[in-house]
Amino acid sequence: MEAMATGVARFLTHLHVERRLSPHTLAAYRRDLQRLLHFCQAQGIATWEQLDAHQVRHFAAALHRQGLGGRSIQRHLSALRGCCEFLLGEGVLRHNPGRGVAAPRTPRRLPAALDVDQMQRLLDIDAGDPLARRDRAILELFYSSGLRLAELCGLDVNDVDLDDATVSVTGKGRKTRVIPIGRQARTALRRWLGVRDTFGAPADEPALFLSRRGRRLAPRSLQQRLDHWARRQGLAEHVHPHLLRHSCATHLLESSGDLRAVQELLGHADIATTQIYTHLDFQHLARVYDRSHPRSRRTDDRGKKAED
């Protein structure tokens, strides 16, 4: 097992140094591959050469029995294939035993999104004190630019160009993209930057959004503030950062129909990832059709059965 553990360690180093993956992604790879090592130990598999396609399928089946869904199993298999592909390049393996082994398919869940009225209610907060100004700027920027939680927390003051109405974002795989900032978000950011110094940040603190202690706002704290404002504004939904990202993408696609633009805004490497929002857009269209089209309505405005 020592040789297998060494192979995993070398692969993780490769992901960190060469591919520059984020700590969060590295931790996910480490957990999934550790589970593979435990499986191999239980099966008496001591070397990578002993791991064949039959054993990989057995590993996937074991994950399924443990209650993991198709997407989670696919993530484990992807980590296994990636590691084996790396070991192929290193000369440790002659073939990749994970190739061709598929996870059980599960229905793809559509992402939830707030409608425009719900979004307006959430954003309509009294930003009188500095803390509320910060939170209003966070909410507006989330919705305006469709950022991920880690992307927003990682922003520095210098990443924002309010005159140019853009923000430079470092996303997954350390890839940088420049995306627009809407008018309302720019106004909220200017108001926040006007009081940022009152949070007592050290002169060398570059973070755009600060905690009450003057340090970079942590993801968990930001999530708690979103939950606070959702409850205070009377929203029944659980509001989290990705919900605002989904809402931004959904509303933009409903208005423009430009899938490529939404892909660039969200930073999706594959447009297939963005296409999930076309299903949401179709749901919106179907609701409008059912509510509005004369051949769809069951009753007319007077409550009588509509004629065919």
Q: Any catalytic annotation for residue 143?
A: no
Tell me which residue of 250, 219, 214 sits closest to 151, measured CA to CA. 219
Degrees, nearest 5: CA angle 74-84-63: 30
How far is residue 198 from each of residues 132, 157, 192, 194, measured CA to CA in Å?
13, 15, 10, 9
Instruction: Please tell me the distance from the alpha carbon of residue 294 to that of residue 34, in angstroms, as a whole number.
Output: 59
**Known active-site residue 277:** yes
Where do we find the tokens 């190739």? 99
Is 191 a catalytic site residue? no
Of 267, 223, 264, the C-alpha closest to 243 is 223
Q: Active site residue: 16, 121, 268, 284, which one?
A: 268
What is the Cα–Cα distance from 57 to 65, expressed in whole angstroms?
12
Inter-residue contact 184 to 125 (CB < 8 Å): no
Q: Is 174 annotated in the active site? A: no
Contacts 24+ apart (CB under 8 A), 161-167: 162/186, 162/189, 162/190, 167/141
Catalytic site residue from 172, 191, 225, 284: 172
Q: Which position among 148, 196, 246, 251 bears the catalytic label? A: 148
C-beta of residue 43 within 8 angstroms of C-beta of residue 58: yes
Catalytic residue among 64, 191, 240, 242: 242
Residue of 129, 152, 148 lying closest to 216 (CA atoms): 152
Q: Is 29 a catalytic residue?
A: no
Question: Which residues form the catalytic set?
Answer: 148, 172, 242, 245, 268, 277
